[in-house]
Every structure is written in C-alpha cells, then in structure tokens.
Amino acid sequence: MVAEAKRLPHKFKCQDGTEAEIKLLTVKDIPALKELYKELKAEERSRLREDVLNEHYEKRLANQIKDENIFRIVAWQQGRIFASLTMVRGFAHWRKHTCELRSVVHPDHRRLGIATHLLEEAIHYADSVGIEKLYINLIPEQTKAINMAETLGFRLEGILKDHVKDGLGVYRDIQIYSLDLNAAHKAMEKLISKIDGFKD
C-alpha cells in the first residue's frame, strides 16, 4: 500500500463534467462510508458480503485500514463519499498473486465512469505489489456489474451454485470473473505495436 499511497489523493473528472477526489480511506472517514451504505436500497445491501450497518462493522473497517493485505480507496464529492473499491489480497501463500475486488457506487453516481477509474487505480496497485490476477464475485442479478466487468476484460471462470445466502435469506449462485494482468498487459502491448505499425 505504501507504493500506491504516492498516487493518492488526486482529482479527476466524472463523465458528467463534475470534479471528484479519490483517496485512501482513513479511520476518520468511516462514518462517511457508512452514510454511503445507508443510502443503498435494502435489497442491494443484502447482497454485500457483510452487514455494513452492524454496530461492530466500524471496528472491522478500522482494523482493515491497518491490514497490508487490504487496500480500500474511496471517491469524494461535496464532502460525501459516493464510491468505494476494496482490494483483498489472497492470504494463503499460494494465493498471494491474486486479489479480490469489491466495489460500491452510490445509485446517483453510476454510469459516470467512476467504477472504471477505481479499477484503473486497482490495477496500478496490483502492479506495484506483484499481484497477477484480479477477480470479482458477482451474482447473476448484478447484470450491470457483469457487463462492466466483461467490457473491462474480465472473463467468467466458474459458477458456484447456491453458494451464498444473502441478507434476505435467499440462496444465490456466485459467478467468478477474473482478469489476468500479465495477459492484459501483453494484449495492450500488442495493440500499441499494431497502432505504431500503422503510423509507420
């Protein structure tokens, strides 16, 4: 996380032309993050991995901020957090090269390019610490998130049937999407070389 801290905070423009700031989450920012969670619909919150409104969740967040295997960045606008992306690196020795992504964007700020911008930061961080593979766990109902992941190069690797039970007690499948960063970089280099070739 130290390597990426040099990149943050920084400002960027959303697709609607408004300016926002992206930075690392700090302990004093936790109440603002909980406000973001409160503004999600109950059904959407039920699909999150943890009960984010639980009274003990703030303590868990504070501990995560100290954990070098967890990297959390948030996007701010007008004094409010409107998006969050968490990266959880594999804890086991044989999974240290992998990292799970989890993201939340306020309903009023979707389709403005923020998720893509956060992913770019995630890739920079992954490169800086030797992570080779990113993956996202999604349920079939998250069609917009699935479309975005596929657009960004993530591919479906597998489906775990009835693998999770959400906050409403409903069993749901988990679809695992992954992005091999080494392959992605090679594809980008190949594309750039082709473009350079056309210029010649």
pLDDT at 101 over 60: yes
Percent of the chain at pLDDT exceeding 70: 90
Coil/strand/helix, residue 131: coil
pLDDT at 188 over 70: no
Residue that the structure tokens 């998006």 belong to: 83
How many CB atoms are closer than 10 A to CB 178? 18
Q: Of 184, 50, 55, which is closest to residue 124 (Cα–Cα)?
A: 184
Coil/strand/helix, residue 173: strand
Mean pLDDT rounded to a whole number for the chain: 86
CA dist 83 → 73, 171, 199 (Å): 8, 27, 39
pLDDT of residue 61: 93
How many CB atoms are closer than 10 A to CB 171? 10
Could you give the number of structural domains in the chain? 1
Q: Of 154, 12, 164, which is closest to residue 83 (Cα–Cα)?
A: 12
pTM for the predicted model, two decimal places: 0.82
Percent of the chain at pLDDT exceeding 90: 48
pLDDT of residue 169: 87
The pLDDT tens digits of the residues spanning 9-21 come to 889 899 899 999 9
Beta strands in 27-167 (DSSP E): 70-77, 80-89, 98-105, 133-138, 155-165
Q: Find the CATH number of the domain harbouring 164.
A: 3.40.630.30
The alpha carbon of 28 is separated from its chain's Cα centroid by a whole number of angstroms, namely 21
The alpha carbon of 165 is separated from its chain's Cα centroid by a whole number of angstroms, namely 21
Whole domain around residue 107: which residue ranges?
A: 2-199
pLDDT band at 195 (very low <50, low <70, confident <90, very high): low
pLDDT at 74 over 90: yes
pLDDT at 200 over 50: no
Q: Of 85, 104, 123, which is closest to residue 47 (Cα–Cα)?
A: 104
pLDDT at 45 over 60: yes
pLDDT at 99 over 80: yes
pLDDT of residue 5: 53
Q: Of 144, 71, 74, 78, which is closest to residue 107 (Cα–Cα)?
A: 144
pLDDT at 4 over 60: no
pLDDT at 197 over 70: no
pLDDT of residue 187: 63
